[in-house]
Structure 1
């Protein structure tokens, strides 16, 4: 429910932005499709010695994906 309809605002202030913002054009990024390239990427990530927050941010997604794969595979094995 919007603020104008409920009486919380006198007018729709988003109308002031009409035409001021441009629509983003979609960008496509390349993906690693070869197992050898994936292995090289993983080694590079795990060898990186930067700021602890950056290291954690780099290591978390691949680790989570591996955990999800193991979970889904074990579920398939039970079915």
Structure 2
């Protein structure tokens, strides 16, 4: 469970690069007219944006982990 808390605490360090990378590949596959793969990368980017928005809304690294800990009890 510590690995989950680690990923939640450091969300911006993996979510922001995933957003940019998925945006690049979405554009690339959309131009190549491979819509299914573009949709997968779009979904991945939107999921990263939602997780990052949760992290900001809850209050940062410590508050997001504390919120998850309270949710598990």
Tell me whether the two structures share a fold, i.e. TM-score over 0.5: no
Q: Which has the higher contact order (CA 8 A, sep 6+)?
A: 2
More helix by share: 2
Larger Rg, first or second structure (1 or 2): 1
Q: With structure 1 as the length reference, what TM-score do the two structures score? A: 0.38
Q: With structure 2 as the length reference, what TM-score do the two structures score? A: 0.40
